[in-house]
């Protein structure tokens, strides 16, 4: 029999809660992406680079939104990842979005959506979070959140959200045999 604190922890780590955090980050990325912004212009002897001031923040929020969404799927598929009063190492190790995505079995269109995860993970441990990469071996050039990348990211977030909501709407046997079912209200 599991302790009450472990059960409470598992309830707090329910896939729905990961999904809520993902949606919050997604909505904040949207708000920031669509608000009036300034730009940063960098010039050296050979080139000029201009980007919106919110580029890094939008990129990072989008990456973290998908990371939390993928982790909701992983917990749904592997309830043992939230047993014992802590998150499993398999869930916590790094921010490699493509590796996390490849571990999921119930996501829609895994091969067609992989490129979005690969694009976003380039900045997560590098230029989107810090002023530089963590080493010369991880150096990547800051990517701009282009209209095409933004469209692809939103498509992936939407189809993954729809699938997760469908899964959570059915009975789910979580850790310790607890069965839950989530009801989602449709927006008007």
- This prediction has a pTM of 0.90
What does the pLDDT look like over 102-159, one tens digit per residue? 999 999 999 999 999 999 988 887 888 888 777 777 767 788 899 999 999 999 999 9
User: What Å distances lie between residue 80 and 29, 55, 71, 77, 99, CA to CA?
Assistant: 31, 37, 13, 9, 19
**According to the model, what pLDDT value does residue 118 have?**
93
- The length of the chain in residues reads 188
Domain spans of the chain, in order of start:
4-180
- Residues 6+ positions from 85 with CB-CB distance below 8 Å: 3, 5, 6, 9
pLDDT confidence band for 14 (50 / 70 / 90): very high
**According to the model, what pLDDT value does residue 139 have?**
65
**According to the model, what pLDDT value does residue 84 have?**
93
Taking a C-beta distance cutoff of 8 angstroms, is the pair 129, 75 a contact? no
């Amino acid at each position: 029999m599991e302790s009450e604190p472990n059960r409470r922890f598992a309830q707090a780590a329910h896939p729905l809660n990961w999904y809520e955090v993902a949606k919050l980050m997604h909505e904040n990325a949207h708000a920031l992406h669509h608000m009036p912004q300034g730009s940063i212009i960098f010039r050296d002897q050979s080139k000029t680079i201009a980007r919106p001031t919110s580029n890094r923040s939008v990129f990072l929020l989008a990456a973290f939104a998908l990371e939390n969404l993928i982790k909701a799927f992983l917990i749904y598929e592997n309830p043992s990842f939230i047993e014992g009063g802590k998150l499993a190492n398999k869930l916590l190790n790094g921010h490699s979005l493509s590796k996390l995505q490849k571990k999921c079995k119930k996501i829609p269109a895994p091969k067609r959506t992989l490129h979005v995860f690969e694009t976003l993970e380039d900045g997560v441990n590098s230029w989107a979070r810090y002023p530089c990469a963590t080493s010369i071996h991880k150096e990547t050039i800051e990517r701009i959140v282009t209209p095409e990348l933004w469209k692809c990211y939103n498509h992936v977030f939407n189809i993954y959200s729809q699938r997760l909501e469908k899964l959570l709407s059915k009975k789910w046997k979580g850790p310790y045999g607890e069965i839950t079912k989530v009801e989602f209200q449709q927006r008007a």
